[in-house]
Chain A
Amino acid sequence: MSLPRLRHALAAGLPLAALLGSPALLADPDPSDWQAVVEEARGQTVYWYAWAGEDRTNEYIQWTADQVAERYDIDLVHVKLSDTAEAVSRVLAEKQAGNDERGNVDMIWINGENFATMKTNDLLFGPWAEQLPHYPLTDPDNTPAVRYDWTIPVDGLESPWSSSQVVFYYDTALVDTHPRSMPELLAWAQENPGEFTYARVPNFLGNAFITQALLELADDTEILYEPMQEEDFEEVTAPLWTFLDELHPLLWRSGRAFPSNSSELRRLMGDGEISIGLSFSTTEASGAIANFELPDSVRSYVHDDGMIGNMSFMAIPYNAQHKAGAMVVANYLLSPEAQAHKQDPVVWGSNTVLSLETLEPADRALFDDIDLGIATLAPDELGEVLGQPHPSWVDALAEAWQARYVGR
């Protein structure tokens, strides 16, 4: 066991990487020379770290693996995570140990919060995403969500994959008229105590619910899209806490326990314990009905003032060993074919990030033919998409929620 090496490894980390800038390693592929990238990718094994709690997601990833094996001779391996942060931990441990070139993680399916972390800590490779041949299909100049992930500039460090929006779902057999706003939800809960709950904060769906509530209840929402200033927090969030203090005793289990994630929430719905739930996927209810998890009387709805939405992305760590392969896979994931297959609720039902107007008619037809399922709202019924506030607000909200409701 060589102690000097260990010490060296510990001391490396930040200063070295900061000096070089993450993408500066000589051997890295150049995304602007796409032909060369595809050449280099041939025969590579790409380890894709992706959340695996949903079998339809896993099957879609397996389908992608078959496609890229055939087209690009890439061996795509799905490394199954129960929490995306495990991948971030892994990259961090590698950096800590001075492994700057032969990282295990080639590609991560990432959300805004983890992206913000990796970006601030110089753990990402890039810029590369804007050079992908399929990138223009997202119409980036007219789609801010492609350029700003939770208000953080993407800067070409990640490539869009799926767009999602929060929707509520309810059992029409148990609920006559569904609420159309947070105050209406509160009123409904007063009449139907114990029939609604949301995922425990800081799970992303729990965060989404309290953020949505704040966006609906706050007087001024502009301020939520700027980095948070400590002195504003109390005043801006006061209506949220009044609302939650009233709502919690009316929740499932009187707010003394919360489901830990969206799937557990769905299970409560399937077991008939609650009659209104929410999800970050517009097609979740339809998929769950097809999978026998929810009764076929479940339908989706949105609030009148719009619902929070965002995109999830593909990122490549600074020390990934197979960057070329990862870029080729990310580009394939953006292809109309792969995006249309993904949007089909029978396959997965995750919304496309492509701008349908930019597509060739033949490619557009792929999307027009999809049957969205009985409990899925049509695109024009989904209403306005509210942007995700700055991560500093979401972090502070989650912390304040825990200080307020945990351990009482």
Chain B
Amino acid sequence: MLRLAPWLITALLVGPILAGLAMATLPAFGYLPALGGHSLSLDPWRDLFAQPGLARSVAISFSSGIATTALSLTVVLLFLAGASGSRLDRWIRRMISPLLSIPHAAAAFGLAFLIAPSGLISRALSPGLTGWERPPDLLIVQDPWGLSLMAGLVIKEIPFLLLMSLAALHQIDAERRVALARSLGYRPTIAWLKVVLPSLYPLIRLPVFAVIAYASSVVDVAMILGPTLPPTLAVSILGWFNDPDLSRRFMASAGALLQLGVTLAALASWWGLECLVRRLGRGWVAGGQRQRGERRLRIIGKTLILLAAITALVGIAGLALNSLAGFWRFPDALPQTFTLQHWQRALPSLGGPVAATLIIAGAATLLATALVLAALENEQRSGCQPAQGQLASALTLLYLPLIVPQIAFLFGLVVVMEALGTRPTRWLVIFGHLLFVLPYVFLSLSEAYRRFDPRWSRVALTLGSTPNGAFWRVRLPMLLAPLLTAMAVGLAVSIGQFLPTLLLGAGRVTTVTTEAVALAAGGNRRLIGVWALVQASLPLLGFIIAVGLPRLLWSNRRGMRGTP
């Protein structure tokens, strides 16, 4: 049974993606019988390349993939390098979970309201400091270079990369490495960058790739913060798929393949950058320089991460304020009146979507966790564990859903599901979520599981326990903390899914996220505030349980409580 787990996972994830991609490829070459496309042709591609502003869309998508990742990663690494266990460092670590649980769209709305010329900052400074009675006519949000889009993505990707890095750091015994380097006279930050980073990076490479793929193909954040003339490639594609003129579907499919190409190109360029940095970095590491720039690096790292965390939190606070606001004329720093009306109108309709969200997220996470545990346990028992940081196993394919842009295969997948005669149900949506939940659960759990000291199980076996007994009574309880964290990540991922829920549920399965995005189309910031807070509070609940439960259960076992 256990031996089947890796194959089951691979089939479950890879099958739908390949099928979906195939169904995007056929229309991209003109084959779509329902719309009268019976023969293969290159017309969809000609139409696509004739689209005004296409080159610009592609460039923005590509560069936001690279720039977002480079910036988030730099900030995370500089922060970790300079971290000294101060109160500020601990606060930032504690903020990871709340920041992770803010849905991307909500964070984007928060940022947009913060930095717009008529936004929170401008209101706080006006008219006193700026003299503005009317908002200045400045193009900040939705700027043509995608800078606000990248900023919005960076504040969400930092906590993710930080979480992944902290999990990986345990494996490489960072403290002793730094201690050794310090004994040779290196300042702490320099020591960390020279002796820890080279071993850490291979371990977080996959999450980094996932960030590149996500940032180059994101839809919801790009709709809120991205440029509009033209929008990013993924947003354009969604527009073409939804165009009333059905013949545009052919071009949209070609666009979906182009998106896949852009994402792959971004990944390839990143790989090139890696080689470059490795070559340049080697000289720096070996150069023996021990002190220079230490302070500056540390301060930059701290400032930037603090800025990102505070931006996200203030943005959400701004949304919360909006959800209670009456009319709020421009230079006023606070609304003229407060009202509960927005909450009162939304509350009656919250129940159903919240319940559906929890059921779907719960089921997808439980399934994913069971499959991941089975695969990892199989790895332990068969002894064919991949070497540290190496990905050479069938399970590498597990990360396909994180690399292939959603927009490239989901439309095709819907056609496949229809052809198989499956009815859109809650189960189909759960299955769709599983595609994205599983990789993240695996990503969060695998390192803890693999580095679990095998001697514990061996002791249990020598004492007469069966392998199953050792799993249930020793390994699982001892891994409770990382297991719950992985499940909380899984819940958060499922709760945030928009396109899979909409497409596989035929719109009939409403979750908090589909409601929030549908309302976001209406742009009423007060209502968006209400839904974004609800949407953010659900995953937060998961993280609170993940931190609190082990402490409660193991109140008399300090070592079992896990690190917060």
Which residue numbers of A lie inside 8 Å of B, CB to CB? 1-2, 5-6, 9-14, 47, 49, 51-55, 58-59, 62, 77, 79-83, 85-90, 92-99, 102, 104-105, 113-114, 116-117, 121, 193-194, 200, 202, 252-254, 256-258, 260-261, 263-264, 266-268, 270-273, 291-296, 395, 402-408
Bound-state CA distance A93–B507 (Å) is: 14
> Within the assembled complex, what's the spacing in Å between the Cα atoms of A97 and B143?
41
Q: 19 A-B pairs, CB-CB below 8 angstroms?
A: A5-B419, A12-B34, A49-B507, A52-B518, A55-B527, A58-B349, A80-B507, A87-B507, A89-B241, A92-B249, A93-B418, A98-B419, A252-B137, A253-B137, A257-B144, A273-B135, A273-B137, A292-B339, A407-B53
Which residues of A have CB within 8 Å of B229? Answer: 200, 256-258, 405-408
- Compute the total of residue contacts between A and B using a CB distance below 8 Å: 208
In the complex, what residues of A have CB within 8 A of residue B15's CB?
1
Q: Which residues of A contact B144 (CB under 8 A)?
A: 256-257
Q: Which of A94, A253, A264, A402 contacts B523 (CB 8 A)?
A: A264
Interface string of B328-340 (1 = CB under 8 A from A): 1110000001010
Q: Per-residue CB proximity of B209-240 to A under 8 Å, as 1/0?
A: 00000000000000100011110000000000
Shortest C-beta distance, B378 to chain A (Å), equals 25
Q: B246 to A272, Cβ gap below 8 A?
A: no
* Contact present for A263 and B52 (CB under 8 Å): no
Flag if B36 contacts A85 (CB, 8 Å). Answer: no
Of the candidates B52, B506, B524, the one whose C-beta lies within 8 Å of that of A55 is B524
Q: CB of B466 within 8 A of chain A? A: no
Task: Collect the chain A residues with CB atoms within 8 Å of residue B327's CB.
Answer: 270, 292-296
Which of A10, A113, A402 has its CB near the most chain B CB atoms (within 10 A)?
A10
Closest-CB distance, B539 to chain A (whole angstroms): 22
When distances are taken between beta carbons in the complex, the residues of chain B under 8 Å from A273 are 117-118, 134-135, 137
- What is the 8 Å Cβ interface bit string for chain B, positions 505-534, against chain A (1 contact, 0 not)? 011101000110111111111110000000
**A12 contact set on B, CB distance < 8 A:** 33-34
Residue from B249, B349, B521 within 8 A of A82 (CB atoms): B521
Task: Check if A81 sits within 8 Å of B507, measured CB to CB.
Answer: yes
Cβ–Cβ contact A292 & B34, under 8 A: no
Q: B325: CB under 8 A from chain A?
A: yes
Q: Are the CB atoms of B246 and A86 closer together than 8 Å?
A: no
CB contacts under 8 Å to A, within B10-39, are 15, 32-36
0 or 1 for each of B408-427: is its CB under 8 Å from A? (1 = yes): 00010011101111011000
- Not counting A93-B414, A258-B229, a sample of 13 additional A-B residue pairs whose C-beta atoms are within 8 angstroms of each other reads A51-B521, A55-B345, A79-B508, A82-B517, A86-B502, A96-B33, A98-B419, A121-B246, A200-B229, A256-B139, A264-B523, A292-B326, A402-B52
Contacts of B143 in A (CB 8 A): 257
Partner of B228 from the list A98, A194, A200, A271 (CB cut-off 8 Å) is A200
Query: Which residues of chain B come closer than 8 Å to A92, judged between CB atoms?
Result: 34-35, 246, 249
A269: min CB distance to chain B, Å: 11
Q: How close is A345's CB to chain B, nearest CB, in angstroms?
A: 16
Report chain B residues within 8 Å CB of A13.
33-35
In the complex, residue of chain B having the shortest beta-carbon distance to the beta carbon of A59? B345
**Contact across chains for B244 and A114 when beta carbons are under 8 A apart:** yes
A395: chain B residues within 8 A (beta carbon): 245
Most buried by A among B55, B418, B527: B418
